[in-house]
Amino acid sequence: MGSRWDRSNPASAAAAAAAKLSSQYGGPRETDAPYYTRIEVNDLKNRYTLTKSATQQSIYDETGAQVSTKGQWYPDKSRATAADPPLYLLIEAQTQDSFDMAVKKVHELKDSELQPLVEDRSRKFEERAATRRKWDEFKVYLNMEPLRNFNLRAKIVGPGGMFVKYIQQETNTKVQIKGLGSGFLEQDTGVESQEAMHVNIAGPDPSQFTYARELTEDLIAAVRGEWERVQGIVPEVQQQADQSQQYGDMPAIPDPNDKEAVERYNQYWTSHGYDVNDPSFKEWQKQQEEYYAQYYAQYQQQAGQEQTGYHAVPPPNNL
């Protein structure tokens, strides 16, 4: 014969638990049902499921026993009192069969997901941190000086981060832009690393690093090509701006319908020894207009000038 504490008999175990709760927290009989018990759920992770009205209604439909939530939840159950016991379920039934089925169902729900609510979160955090620390990492430096009007970091990351995301998805690595000018703040210092800007790649599987490096270097090479084109244009514009200063305040190319402006323009260049009616001069004038329409507005900051109108560059000396 099993004892009253025999866990193989859910109904007996529930009755024993109810008796223990009653002795601990006292209080009068809380129901007139001939069969009832308390099942404590204060420290169960799945107490939210067990205390839902939908769950309790399902038990009633299946067993005919009433299940209700009583007490209150305590993070520290030792703070419970007789007036406010820890969170529990009250099961009430009119027959032994109904009672036994309800108790069995509640224990099944408990056991299906039963985990202590107070988990060792610090241990899990340490395990995750240890996993991260085990990740190998390497750096690929950009080796490109910053240029005005050329956002190096944005070029590497791509629109909406698509370039970095692609490398991550393809190689199962974590890709971040770090170093000076990257905007990435180091966790231990709260500021950018003093290293030159670079792509930092980390991951749990070093076998993926070769492919990750290849993709990263291909990306940097593509950006470098664009960076070199911009770098070549900046000195050219600066040189032309410096040359233009030798000619003083040069007039803008006039509107053909503005006769006075055309006359002033022609007089200016004539005074510098140019034949404004020469086809070569007119061809130069056209080229300058097209050239600056494309480049001057974009790189005026590098030239150190504020664009208030169209400024021509002196025509070739062979005109």
Structural domains in the chain? 14-111 (3.30.1370.10), 135-235 (3.30.1370.10), 248-300 (no CATH)
143: Cα within 13 Å, side-chain hemisphere? 8
Q: Whose CA is closest to 154, among 219, 108, 105?
A: 219
Q: Cα Rg for the chain, rounded, in angstroms?
A: 40
Across all residues in the chain, what is the average pLDDT? Answer: 74
Phi, psi angle pair for 202, to nearest 5°: -135, 150
Report the 3 state secondary structure along 112-141. Answer: HHCCECCCCHHHHHHHHHHHHHHCEEEEEE
Residue 208 predicted with pLDDT over 50: yes
In this structure, are residues 216 and 170 in contact, taking their beta carbons and an 8 Å threshold?
no
Tokens representing 78 are 């030792």
Tokens representing 283 are 């061809």
Q: Return the pLDDT at 39.
A: 92
SS3 154: helix
- What distance in Å separates the CA atoms of residue 207 and residue 204, rounded to the nearest whole number? 9
Give the CA angle between residues 72, 78, 13 to the nearest 5°.
75
For residue range 272-309, what is the model confidence (pLDDT) as tens digits? 566 777 776 676 667 666 655 555 455 444 444 444 44
Q: Return the pLDDT at 309.
A: 45
For residue range 224-275, what is the model confidence (pLDDT) as tens digits? 888 888 777 545 544 554 555 444 455 666 777 777 877 877 777 776 566 7
Higher-confidence position of 205 and 196: 196
E strands, the chain, where?
A: 35-40, 66-70, 88-93, 136-141, 174-178, 198-203
For residue range 106-120, what is the model confidence (pLDDT) as tens digits? 998 888 754 443 344
Q: Whose CA is closest to 91, among 71, 62, 69?
A: 69
Q: How confident is the model at residue 38 (pLDDT cuts 50, 70, 90)?
A: very high
Q: Is 314 left (phi over 0), alpha (psi -120 to 50) or beta?
A: beta
Q: How confident is the model at residue 7 (pLDDT cuts 50, 70, 90)?
A: very low
Exposure of 29 by Cβ count < 10 A (0-12 exposed, 13-18 middle, 19+ buried)? Answer: exposed
- What distance in Å separates the CA atoms of residue 4 and residue 20, rounded to the nearest whole number? 12
Arithmetic mean of pLDDT, 159-180: 90
Can you name the residues that pair with 76 across neighbouring β-strands?
Answer: none
State the sign of the Cα–Cα–Cα–Cα dihedral 138, 144, 147, 150.
negative
- What distance in Å separates the CA atoms of residue 51 and residue 59, rounded to the nearest whole number? 11
Q: Cα 3 from chain centroid?
A: 58
Q: Return the pLDDT at 249.
A: 55
Residue 191 predicted with pLDDT over 90: no
Name the amino acid, one letter, at 215. Answer: L
Q: Return the pLDDT at 288.
A: 60
Residue 76 predicted with pLDDT over 60: yes
